A and B are shown apart, each in its own frame.
Chain A
Amino acid sequence: MDGAMTSAQQGKCVDTCSTPDDEALRRCQAGDIAGLDALVARHQLAALRIAYLLMQDRSLAEDIVQESFLLAYRHAGQFRSGTPFAPWFHRIVLNAARQHLRAATRRRETSLDLLDPRSPQRLPVVSDPLRHAERAEVRAAVTHVLRLLTHKQREVLVLRYYGGYKDNEIARALGLPAGTVRWRLHAALRAFDRQARSTYPWLLEDGRAPAAILEHSEGAADI
């Protein structure tokens, strides 16, 4: 994955090793908002993109990540110093997303974005309109296919193939046995394959759109 780094690649800090995130969390514990600023600067993009892939709604993703940062700030004391911040924070994001989903179900609210599965939303200004249109088409197609999956399927797909997490890390994040995660991943991959083939067959075939996205790595998340 372009620019993405797995939590394993980041490595675990042992004993006395202190990371900038540790320092930022210590400042959060002391009530110093600069600590939160540092965490937001480093982790907001990856978290927002994970939340977006889970919810397919950018404003909802922003709400979820804001809530998550506030929770991380409030519960900074619960973070285990010396371990990577991103997996811990992504667990919070996952839980916040689930909570939003439950609340939305209870309220029976539907985002207007969700009513139109191919809603283009706001797109960045780019210099190459053709390439821009192509990428927008891919984005809309992937987003639509993701909407056709269950939330549980999206969770494992996003954590594995966007977050770069391993089975056991996903298991820990979701509180599931690793075997269940492997099955869920297997089922999710098949579901994605099936939905993609029935709605956007070109998405999984060698052709213009995938080539375009593979060439492109603008602002890839550093997880």
Chain B
Amino acid sequence: MSQENRHETNRDHIEHRLAALLTAAAEQVPADIELRPRLHARLRAASIAAAPAASRPHTLRVRRPVLQQRRTLLAAILVATLVVFSAFALARPLMLSWFGDRSLKAIALQYGTTIDRAATVQGITLRLREGYADAARTVLTMHISASDAAHPPMPWLPDLRLIDAQGRVSHAFTGSQLNSDALFEFLPLPSDTLGSLQSLTLVVGEMQRGSDGPSSGPNLIAGPWQIAFQLKPQAGHVVALSVLPEEHAGVRMQPERVDLTPAGVRLLVRVSGLPPDASLFSLTHFNSRASDIVACPPGEHMCASGGGGVTDGARMQVVGPDGQTLTPAWISVVSPPPSDDVPIAQQSIGPAGAAELQFLFFSPLHAIRGTAHLSFDQMRFAPTGGSESPEQIAPGPWTFDLPLG
């Protein structure tokens, strides 16, 4: 066991201790505290005690200073936005001619398919406009309209999924919306769907209405909105690898396949020699770069990125033929297929002790001819929940040359 591993604290132990520690720390707030007198005073001062918004929507005296500040702020933002957009509109053709337009919007429009199908539930119409799919990602653009709302609601990300004809589900993991136009990204469709027309169903279980106040929490509208459509995932450049497995500390790794697409890279790696009780979730503990997860709403080319990622996992990277280094943005287990019914941390790898991992890179590989280099510094795994054993680290490195053709 490595030095680092010896210092690992058992997760169960920390979890048990943490609950007690937080309870102790929370006692800084005494049990006999009483907010009611202060709330009464504030309500009296605000003159809203007898008129909550639901029953008397015009009683806004308390909000007026805030609204005035907001109006000033909104006016400043509007002016700044106009200036920025004017400048951007002038500069954009020049910028695109210099740097190219690699935004997902451009990819979706360039290679995507017009879908234009809609579903209306509770007066809210969700129109699926365009779709693009490849081995590394699926992108859908949408338009949401509601007759009775100034600001249309947005699909609720945790309840947004794509289902193929075999019932396999790809969950959405990021998205953005500007007024009525939205773009969402889903985990890629299964490999066997690439290159042929697929019957898919978009399911939006709930939508989130923009809250009246910034702190009022998500206000969800029940659906579902379901749209059946057809889309042909781009096959991209598929490289079936014939690379010998490499073994360290009893753990064998073997890269199986690389998919090179205009929007990114997918790499499938088989890992074996793991204990049967290793949790599927623990196998995905690699460093990742969430800043590569970028979604642009239609019409926007300056995208915000998610930022962050995982920094305390095993290190895995691909170095392209031209030296370009890619860090994965998303790692998932493809086989054995995780069940949606049980938390993935409680699902074990099984008696075969082997799994197929999918590494998604959300940046395209610039050079696709020659040899890429793949390396893993270690492999981490932990038993499914409830065990006293800490996370195990099998030290590497595993290194592979990947001939791309």
Contact = CB atoms under 8 A, between A and B. Distances in A.
B157 A175 contact: yes
B64 interface: no
A138 interface: yes
B38 A66 contact: yes
A193 B49 CA distance: 46
B23 A33 contact: no
A92 B49 contact: no
A143 B29 CA distance: 12
Contacts of B8: 193
Given A40-B35, A71-B215, A204-B14, A135 B9 contact: no
A142 B21 contact: yes
- Chain B's interface size range is 35 or more
Contacts of A214: 20
A216 interface: yes
Contacts, number: 208
Contacts of A73: 43, 52
Contact of B52 (A74, A143, A161): A74
B343 A167 contact: yes
B39 A36 contact: yes
Interface in A71-92: 71, 73-78, 88, 91-92
A151 B7 CA distance: 25
State the main secondary structure of chain A at its contact with B. Answer: helix
B214 A95 contact: yes
Given A52-B28, A183-B310, A31 B14 contact: no
Given A36-B39, A217-B23, A178 B158 contact: yes
A24 interface: no
Nearest to B50: A31
B49 A31 contact: yes
A172 B236 CA distance: 35
A114 interface: no
Interface string B22-38: 11111111111111101
Interface string B157-183: 110000000000001110000000000
Contact of B23 (A28, A95, A192, A220): A220
B28 A143 contact: yes
A148 interface: no
Contact of A162 (B19, B50, B172): B19
Interface string A159-177: 0011000011001100111
Interface in A155-209: 157-158, 161-162, 167-168, 171-172, 175-180, 182-183, 186-187, 189-190, 192-193, 197, 203-204
Contact of A143 (B25, B32, B345): B25
B31 A177 contact: no
Interface stretch (B97-105, B127-135, B216-224, B237-245): B216-224
Interface string B201-239: 000000010011111111100000000000000000000
B53 interface: yes
Contact of B22 (A88, A157, A218): A157
Contacts of A139: 24-25, 27-28
B312 interface: yes
B77 interface: no
B173 A66 contact: no
A197 B8 CA distance: 10
B310 A91 contact: no
Most buried by B among A88, A186, A197: A186
A221 B30 CA distance: 10
A158 B23 CA distance: 10
B22 A158 contact: yes
B51 interface: yes
Contacts of A30: 55
A11 interface: no
Contacts of B345: 182
A99 B8 CA distance: 35
Contacts of B43: 33, 36, 70, 73
B24 A204 contact: no
Q: What 7 A-B pairs are tightest by C-beta distance, nearest first?
A: A219-B31, A77-B54, A49-B26, A91-B217, A142-B25, A213-B24, A95-B215
Given A45-B33, A53-B26, 10 more contacts: A1-B20, A48-B35, A49-B29, A161-B19, A177-B157, A186-B285, A204-B17, A213-B20, A216-B24, A221-B23
28 contacts: A28-B52, A31-B52, A36-B43, A49-B29, A53-B26, A67-B215, A69-B39, A70-B39, A74-B53, A75-B211, A92-B215, A94-B217, A95-B217, A139-B24, A143-B25, A167-B343, A172-B158, A175-B156, A175-B158, A175-B218, A177-B157, A182-B281, A189-B11, A193-B8, A197-B9, A213-B21, A213-B24, A217-B23
Interface of A: 1-2, 4, 28-31, 33, 36-37, 40-41, 44-45, 48-50, 52-53, 58, 61-62, 65-71, 73-78, 88, 91-92, 94-96, 99, 121, 124, 135, 138-139, 142-143, 146, 157-158, 161-162, 167-168, 171-172, 175-180, 182-183, 186-187, 189-190, 192-193, 197, 203-204, 210, 213-214, 216-221
